[in-house]
Structure 1
Amino acid sequence: METRLTRTGQRLAGLAILVAISAVIGTIVVVAARPHTQAAPPPAVVAPVTTPLPAKYVVLTFDDGPDPAYTPKVLEVLAKYDAKATFFEVGKNVAKHPELTKAIQAAGHSVQNHTWSHADLRHQTAAGFRKQVGDTDTAIKSASGTTPTCLRPPYGGVSATVRKRAKELGKELVLWTIDSRDWSKPGVAVIEKRVLSGVKSGAVILMHDGGGNRSQTIAALPGILEKLKAQGFGFRTLNC
């Protein structure tokens, strides 16, 4: 009797072990079958892509606009060659054509101060100087949303007094190193030659998009840009 009970107990114990093993296996299977609930790793941080400024560059500048006949054509050519420029604008022209100033700014160019009426600042009173510059600032700010920090004195007219007054208004005077003299309408080939002869990195090139017939400037601009780019020049804008 005792032997039978022992065998029965052994069988029951064995059965219990099998049941326990089956339960463990089932649990393992269930756990393995559950969907992955661990939080996904955070996305990789990608550094912002920035376009470095060109090491070899020129600064294209256009004076006396904006002009409804020529400024849009200048903008069209610049866009075609992916070139940026700085426009020194006459305040009264901005007041007449604020949409052009806005378009210049929207295209990524710089808009700066060239006085209200293209006045020679050497011959202005202190009050006249402030009005010529201040009224132009106001017109440009109204059209573009930005206030100029650079001032190009018409005719390149600079004196100790002009420098002092400009500084008091927080303006930096900007002239040029290459004068195309396109205002004299010498011909497309001459304008191109004047710009490209002796050009070097850092050159500030003076051209015009207003103040008269600028059709020769428009015609010369594609050749100028093509040759500058072929020589490895990039383009920077001025923000003083």
Structure 2
Amino acid sequence: MNRRIHRRSVLGFGLGLGATVLAGCETPPSPAPAPPSAPNSPAVTSTSARTAPSGPSGPATQLVRAESGRPEIALTFHGAGELSITRRVLDVLARHGARVTVLAVGTWVAATPDGVRMVRDGGHEVGNHTWSHGDLAGMTEGPMLTEIEKCRDRLDAVLGTPGTFFRPSQGQYATPAELAEAAKAGYSQVLSYDVDSLDWQDAGADRIRKAVATARAGSVVSMHLGHPGTVAALPGVLADLAGRGLRPVTASQLFA
């Protein structure tokens, strides 16, 4: 069966402007494998990324890793947490000339619209990471679609766009039902990832750097805006990537 490698749990998430943190997105995974190759596993594709259209006719395409051969990777951030931490992350990215993709949680967008605006104004890409970051795969179709649409509509109200991609919450890969509901909400592409930075575990900058060091050209790396450890690790992560000749780009650029 095509089930996710792991399910993630939220360890702390509220709506306050200064004190909210999406403290954790996942349970400890086993050593990071390459994307599965079984018949029902997510496809690795280099399909071009596009802004969410209005009503694809079939399920969304799942993007896991690009195979263009270009020396690029996509750093993707789950968007939630304190505004001050978001600002620090964006400052580090700006100093290194890096562009990233932020998959925003709808309740964070609603409570802290300045955060997602700062992401956009910094030249980064924005996507949809559900309204409340619940266990999406455990929901029936109706609530699942509502989670996607509420975040979509809030992003559109704040930024004038529903975001380029959708990413399900609490899992690395999308289920068939999530791909179907994403398409109903207008997203033709679901952005998964092949590298987990483990920054949600707050285990220190060295561990985060080691986790990201497994990335290779075409990889999509999962990170988080709301963790101070991410800020501490990010300069080293970016230096490591530069030393390996890998350039951080938005997911749209990676899959172009």
Q: Which residue of 2 aligns with 1:128?
A: 143
Mind listing any 5+ residue stretches in structure 1 that lack a counterpart? 1-52
2:201 corresponds, among 184, 205, 215, to 184
Cα shift at 1:199:
2.2
**Which residue does 2:176 correspond to in 1?**
160
Give the secondary structure class of the aligned counterpart of 1:200.
coil
Bigger CA drift: 141-150 or 96-105? Answer: 141-150
Cα separation, 2, equivalents of 1:142 and 1:238? 23
Which residue does the alignment assign to 1:201?
217
Shift of 1:230: 2.0
Match of 1:237? 250
By relative contact order (CA 8 Å, sep 6+), the higher-ranking structure is: 2
For 2:140 and 2:86, the matched residues in 1 are separated by 31
1:69 aligns to what SS in structure 2?
A: helix
CA distance in 1 between counterparts of 2:238 and 2:192 reads 21
Is the contact between residue 187 and residue 216 of structure 1 (CA under 8 Å) also seen in structure 2?
yes
Deviations 1:95-127 (A, max 9, x none): 011111111111110110000000222122322
Conserved? CA contact 2:70–2:218, under 8 Å: no
Partner of 2:191: 174
Root-mean-square deviation over aligned CA pairs = 1.9
Q: Shift of the alpha carbon at 1:54?
A: 9.9
Partner residue in 1 for 2:157: 142
Cα 1:140–1:54, aligned 2, differ >3 Å: closer, same or farther? farther
Contact 2:104 2:128 survives alignment (8 Å) = yes
Quote the residue 1:221 is aligned against.
234
Distance 1:187 1:131 in 2: 36
Q: What does the per-residue CA deviation read over 1:166-193, in whole Å, with 9 as the maximum and x for residues that have no partner?
A: 2222322211111011111111111111
Q: Is the 8 A contact 1:117 1:132 kept in 2?
A: yes
State the TM-score, normalizing by the size of structure 2.
0.68
TM-score, scaled to structure 1: 0.72
Describe how 1:28-43 pairs up with structure 2 within 5 A: none
Paired AA for residue 95 in structure 2: K
Three-state SS of the structure 1 residue aligned to 2:148 is helix
- Report the 3-state secondary structure (helix = DSSP H, G, I; strand = E; otherwise coil) of the residue aligned with 1:151: coil
Instruction: Report SS of the residue matched to 1:117.
Output: coil
CA contact (8 A) 2:69 2:217 kept: no
User: Structure 2: which amino acid aligns with 1:192?
Assistant: R
Q: How far apart are the structure 1 equivalents of 2:206 and 2:181?
A: 39
SS of the aligned residue for 2:181 comes to: helix
Question: Which of these residues, 85, 95, 114, is aligned with residue 129 of structure 2?
Answer: 114
Task: Determine the C-alpha separation between the residues in 2 that align with 1:161 and 1:132.
Answer: 13
Residues 23-62 of structure 1 mapped to structure 2, 5 A cutoff? 55-62=70-77
For structure 2, list consecutive stretches of 5 or more residues without a partner in the other structure.
Answer: 1-67
Q: Is 2:223–2:230's contact at 8 Å kept on the other side of the alignment?
A: yes
**Aligned equivalents of 1:160, 1:132: Cα separation in 2:** 16
Measured in 1, the distance between the counterparts of 2:120 and 2:181 equals 27
Q: Check the 8 A contact 1:66/1:89 in 2, yes or no.
A: no
**Identity between Structure 1 and Structure 2 (%):** 32
Q: Please say if 1:86 is aligned against 2:104.
A: no
